[in-house]
Amino acid sequence: MQVTKTVEATRSLVKQWKREGKTIGLVPTMGFLHEGHASLIRKCREENDIVVVSDFVNPTQFGPNEDLEAYPRDFERDCALCEKMGADLIFNPQPEEMYQDPCAYVSIHTLSDTLCGKTRPIHFKGVCTVVSKLFHIAAPDKAYFGQKDAQQLAIIRKMVRDLNFDVEIVGCPIVREADGLAKSSRNTYLNDEERKAALCLSRAVKRGQEVIRTGCESEAVLKEMRAVIEAEPLARVDYVSVVDALTMQPVERVEKDVLVAMAVYIGVIIGCIAQYTVMPLAA
């Protein structure tokens, strides 16, 4: 496995692989890799000749009061995991390598104005910009993103269509701890008490799945889910919402292709833990 720190070195490797006719898969990450990332890398390994993992805490997707400095980092452990998972390259640039007096950016309206976009107004502009840059640098045939960040995934899919990126976006299922908490680098912020409190999220998901059915009112589902979370004193709901899975706009009734999304603060953690959940309708 190789490690690159510069755009040029990465591009040079990618061009060589392309010349050899190899297909390239990209797993964009902010590092501090966990089993969720591992599942993306595994899927990528299965579907491509070359697996590139980018490992970069992107400053432009953090707001001024968010957790850029506190965001957990452990590059050595990331390297070990990537090596074990059979990655061919980790691209690990410093912010100065990625941003030099930046003026141009990629953004998206409508899909970025709702849900997490309300409390994090610049977040998805940062995400779209860095993902565009990574696509231009690594020139992947396929790129892998977790369904946990469902709004991000919907935005990237729409961005790819709107801007004609020649990349296939692959969404991968949420990976959970044994007790139900979705794996997330930010779980490391939680102390023991908060870690227990955070289980209200997966309990709310479970409760939602019990009551949800095609053709029911969204409010019926949301009421039950909110009740579960509000029973937990350390939890503060940012939002729980039933939205169209493509446009991220709220819908009043649960029909085909809806997404139930939520973001909940646990304790006094900096930033927001977004625990999105795609809810497949009962068959």
Q: Does 162 bind a copy of itself (CB under 8 A)?
A: yes
The CA distance from 73 to 245, in Å, is 32
Taking the chain, what is the end-to-end CA distance rounded to the nearest angstrom?
Answer: 43
Distance between CA atoms of 55 and 72, rounded to whole angstroms?
A: 12
Q: In which element (H, E) is residue 227 found?
A: helix 218-230
75 binds a copy of itself (CB under 8 A): no
Tokens 């696509």 sit on residue: 135
Q: What DSSP string describes 146-191?
A: ETTSHHHHHHHHHHHHHTT---EEEEE---B-TTSPBP-GGGGG--
**Pick from 29, 39, 60, 129: which binds a copy of itself (CB under 8 A)?**
129
Q: Decide whether 76 or 101 has the Cβ nearer to a copy of itself.
A: 101
Q: Is there a catalytic annotation at residue 37? A: yes
Q: Are 260 and 277 in contact (CB under 8 A)?
A: yes
* Active-site entry in 37, 109, 123, 136: 37
Tokens of 82: 């990537």
24 in contact with a copy of itself (CB under 8 A): no
Residue 158 is a binding residue for a copy of itself (CB under 8 A):
yes
d(CA 146, CA 33): 12
**β strands within 44-83, DSSP E:** 50-55
Residue from 4, 132, 185, 187 in contact with a copy of itself (CB under 8 A)? 132
Is there a binding annotation on residue 39?
no
Judged by CB under 8 A, does residue 96 bind a copy of itself?
no
Nearer to a copy of itself, 7 or 237 (CB): 7
Compare residues 159 and 222 and give the one whose CB is closer to a copy of itself.
Answer: 159
Nearby residues of 151 by Cβ (< 8 Å), 6 or more positions away: 111, 112, 114, 115, 116, 117, 124, 248, 261, 274, 276
SS3 121: coil
| Cβ atoms of residues 219 and 237 within 8 Å | no
279 is in an annotated binding site: no
* 104 binds a copy of itself per the rule CB under 8 A: yes
Quick one: tokens of 169?
């976006």
Residue of 79, 87, 137, 262 interacting with a copy of itself (CB under 8 A): 137
Q: Does 128 bind a copy of itself (CB under 8 A)?
A: yes
Which of the stretches 151-159, 182-190, 249-257, 270-278 binds a copy of itself when contact is defined by CB under 8 A?
Answer: 151-159
158 annotated binding-site participant = no
Comparing CB distances to a copy of itself, the nearer of 12 and 214 is: 12
Q: Give 70 or 163: the residue with its C-beta nearer to a copy of itself.
A: 163
CB of 140 to a copy of itself, least distance (A): 13
Q: Is 146 exposed, middle or buried (0-12, 13-18, 19+ CB in 10 A)?
A: buried
Member of 9, 11, 66, 203 binding a copy of itself (CB under 8 A)? 11
Q: Work out whether 122 is an interface residue with a copy of itself (CB under 8 A).
A: no
Q: Kindly list the residues in this chain that would bind a copy of itself in the complex (CB under 8 A).
A: 7, 11, 100, 102-111, 128-129, 132-133, 136-137, 139, 155, 158-159, 161-166
Annotated binding site for beta-alanine: 61
- Active centre residues (catalytic): 37
